[in-house]
């Protein structure tokens, strides 16, 4: 029976993906920073482990405890909504540490075992913001664009060893805690620069109109796309998830 390790399983995409794999008979290692937030259903095929993807020791411990990993789903990440000028370098580093550098670290942790077995799949969760330029998401978008580039090149390196690497790009998901995290974070750290006030108001209003229109992404959309990326040999390198992400990828 195959085993998948999924990061960021306390809520949203990660939680739904864990359930999706469980329902299809997989062994699931569901990881999260705080196990007290775990709301996954009980199953003899589910193990919940603490994992902070920004901590090397935490990664090593979780991967060692998990044992054989057939599929890695690197889902854990953070959002950010602000102008470049309004984002401190400390915040830039935190965003890249969580969204980008930790993706490299998780891949490096599982690749040796997959390479030795000459089989495996890595699915990195990116963002549909890399399809279309959007204001106030420059730092977040850059961190996710790096995930795309990382995965595409790594896939060429890993194919020789029977390992596939793919990216799933969710669209806007306002119903998840991740969807609201960007605005919560920026307001907690002082807000937007004053010269951008009118621009921010117009931009946020446009985002709200988009998410109110109904063509948004659900956790189920993302779970289905991740499962396809993990199991379908013919899955494209970059797979949009959700109605809006698919429309953007098709130029609509």
Give the count of beta carbons closer than 10 Å to the beta carbon of residue 114.
Answer: 23
Which residues of 25-119 form beta strands (DSSP E)? 27-32, 46-50, 71-74
Domain that holds residue 83: 3-249
Q: Please check the confidence at residue 221 and state whether its pLDDT lies above 70.
A: yes
pTM exceeding the 0.85 threshold for the entire prediction: yes
Q: What is the CATH number of the domain that holds 202?
A: 3.40.50.720
Average pLDDT for 113-124? 98
Which residues of the chain form beta strands (DSSP E)? 3-6, 27-32, 46-50, 71-74, 120-125, 163-170, 238-241
Domain total of the chain: 1
Q: Is 68 helix (H, G, I), strand (E, B) or coil?
A: coil
Q: Which residues are catalytic?
A: 140
Tokens at residue 50, please? 């603490």
Tokens at residue 122, please? 């890595």
pLDDT in tens, 137-184: 999 999 999 999 999 999 999 999 999 999 999 998 755 554 555 455
Rounded Cα–Cα distance for residues 107 and 124 (Å)? 9
- Specify the pLDDT at position 1: 74
Which of the four pLDDT bands, split at 50, 70 and 90, describes residue 212?
low
Rounded Cα–Cα distance for residues 60 and 142 (Å)? 27
Ramachandran assignment for 170, one of left (phi > 0), alpha (psi -120 to 50 degrees), beta (any other): beta
**Residue 252, class by beta-carbon neighbours within 10 Å (0-12 exposed, 13-18 middle, 19+ buried)?**
exposed
- Specify the pLDDT at position 68: 98
Q: Please check the confidence at residue 25 and state whether its pLDDT lies above 80.
A: yes
Tokens at residue 134, please? 């959007």
Which of the four pLDDT bands, split at 50, 70 and 90, describes residue 198?
confident
Q: Average pLDDT over the chain, rounded to whole?
A: 91
pLDDT in tens, 43-97: 999 999 999 999 999 999 999 999 999 999 999 999 888 999 999 999 999 999 9
């Amino acid at each position: 029976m195959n085993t998948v390790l999924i990061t960021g399983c306390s809520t949203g995409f990660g939680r739904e993906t864990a359930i999706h794999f469980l329902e299809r008979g997989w062994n699931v290692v569901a990881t999260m920073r705080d196990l007290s937030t775990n709301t996954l259903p009980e199953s003899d095929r589910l193990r919940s482990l603490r994992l902070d993807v920004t901590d090397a020791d935490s990664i090593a411990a979780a991967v060692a405890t998990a044992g054989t990993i057939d599929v890695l789903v690197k889902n854990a990440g953070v959002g950010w909504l602000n102008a470049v000028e309004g984002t401190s370098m400390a915040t830039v580093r935190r965003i890249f540490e969580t969204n980008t550098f930790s993706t490299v670290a998780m891949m490096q942790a599982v690749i040796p075992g997959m390479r030795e077995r000459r089989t495996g799949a890595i699915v990195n969760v990116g963002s549909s913001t890399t399809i279309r330029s959007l204001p106030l998401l420059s730092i977040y978008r850059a961190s996710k664009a790096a995930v795309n580039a990382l995965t595409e090149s790594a896939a060429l390196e890993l194919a020789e060893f029977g390992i596939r690497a793919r990216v799933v790009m969710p669209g806007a998901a306002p119903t998840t805690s991740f969807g609201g995290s960007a605005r919560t974070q920026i307001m907690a750290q002082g807000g937007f620069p004053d010269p951008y006030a009118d621009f921010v108001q117009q931009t946020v209003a446009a985002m709200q109109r988009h998410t109110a229109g109904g063509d948004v992404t659900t956790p189920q959309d993302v779970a289905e796309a991740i499962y396809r990326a993990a199991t379908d040999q013919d899955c494209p390198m970059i797979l949009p998830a959700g109605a809006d992400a698919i429309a953007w990828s098709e130029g609509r």
